[in-house]
Amino acid sequence: MPLVEVVDLTKEYANGEELIRPLDGVSLTVEQRDYVSLMGASGSGKSTLLNLIAGIDTATSGEVVIAGTDITRLSRGRLADWRARHIGYVFQTHNLIPVLTAYENIELPLLLLKMSAAERRKRVGVAMEAVDLTSRASHYPRQLSGGQEQRVGIARAIVANPTLVVADEPTGSLDDETTEQILTLLSRVNDELGMTLLMVTHDAEAGQRAKRRIRLERGRLVENGRDTAAKSLRTA
């Protein structure tokens, strides 16, 4: 059974008298431990699809089943609880809280879960080590480079050991060298930690780092391909 199963998913909203449909009847599956890139031009529907799968937005029709749960049928409160336990989100602009240290930013998702302080410390330590930021635990976002901030964002996304990690243009605001570092780190999250990863990107080179590429155009799926050589591309 796929980890993620999207069935005939549609999203629409009214803009005055005009009906906007950013996503129009998309169906796809994502297997456990896969690394998938959602690609397409601006306005193609890729971020809309990502947010529907992550439970941040709600669909007009269709189903999103993740690990056996159809999240389109959950109430708002139950959906928020489900998202805290199952989704790790990597943002383009990091979205770190400036008055919190790197450690405290990474710990935030764990505060939503029933967990002892000792267990939280253990998990934050593991996540910081995974992104090579242990020495920056007490630093505030303003004391970090853009790449280090995104590493904190990735650590925050993986700290609760989520069912699915989603990333929305995670390298969109980074220079070429830092982009390469972050893409390598995301590949490690998938390969070494075994986490399922779904990444939105408009960058063709970034998309090639995934094991599988999905391309959207005007809210419809136009390409769904798997690259059996993806691992060698990432490590070349």
Pairing of strands 212-217, 220-226: antiparallel
Look at the block and give the residue holding tokens 């669909």: 59
Smallest CA-to-CA distance from 148 within 212, 86, 101 is with: 101
Cα 70 to Cα 31: distance, rounded to the nearest angstrom: 16
Q: Which position has the token pair 């008298």?
A: 17
Q: What percent of the chain has pLDDT over 70?
A: 95
Average of per-residue pLDDT across 45-74: 95
Q: How far apart are CA 132 and CA 173, in angstroms?
A: 20
Instruction: Write the DSSP assignment of 26-50 as a string of letters.
Output: EEEEE-TT-EEEEE-STTSSHHHHH
Identify the pLDDT of residue 223. Answer: 76
By DSSP bridging, strand 4-15 and strand 87-90 are unpaired
Report whether pLDDT(236) > 60: no
Mean pLDDT of 128-153: 96
Structure tokens at 221: 């799926």
d(CA 39, CA 97): 29
Q: What is the mean pLDDT of residues 187-197?
A: 96
Mean pLDDT across 71-84: 94
Q: Going from the N-terminus, what domains does the chain have, and what CATH number goes with each?
A: 33-55+75-210 (3.40.50.300)
187 in Cβ contact with 234 (< 8 Å): yes
Interhelix angle 146-158/117-130, rounded to 10 degrees, is: 130
* pTM confidence score: 0.90
Distance of CA 210 to the CA centre of its chain: 13
Sequence-distant (6+) residues with CB within 8 A of 43 are 22, 218
d(CA 140, CA 156): 14
224 — pLDDT class (breaks 50, 70, 90): confident
pLDDT greater than 70 at residue 221: yes
Instruction: Give per-residue pLDDT as tens, 91-106.
Output: 988 899 999 999 999 9
Chain segment 5-44, per-residue pLDDT in tens: 999 999 998 888 889 899 999 999 999 999 999 999 888 9
Q: Give yes or no for residue 230 having a pLDDT over 90.
A: no
DSSP 24: E
